Amino acid sequence: MASYSLEIKRSAAKEISDLRKADCQRIVAKIQLLARNPRPNGCEKLSGAEKYRIRQGDYRILYEIDDSTKLVTIVKVGNRREVYR
């Protein structure tokens, strides 16, 4: 399987940087794994949008996949209570 490029939107990068250090490290590690496998076990396609989500503890990582350009774009990172709003 070919490797994908990762892109993090500026707003998502700010959301990641606002997290506690331990949570931030776990989320960054999970995002890096998306470059090798953008559809890992446990990911779900969101209804109504061409976005996917993966879970990391109480946090959710929302992202888009462009298979033609091999690009994964991180759109939003947040607590599970607030991320879908």
Q: At what angle do helices 10-17 and 21-33 cross, to 10 degrees?
A: 140
Distance of CA 48 to the CA centre of its chain: 17
So where are the chain's domains?
Answer: 5-79
Cα(70)–Cα(68) distance, integer angstroms: 6
Q: Are the C-beta atoms of 63 and 34 separated by less than 8 Å?
A: yes
Tens digit of each residue's pLDDT (9 = 90 or more) over 3-61? 999 999 999 999 999 999 999 999 999 999 999 999 999 999 998 888 999 999 999 99
Which H or E run includes 29?
A: helix 21-33
pTM over 0.85: yes
Q: At 1, is the pLDDT very low, low, confident or very high (cuts 50, 70, 90)?
A: low
Instruction: Say which CATH class 5-79 falls into.
Output: alpha beta
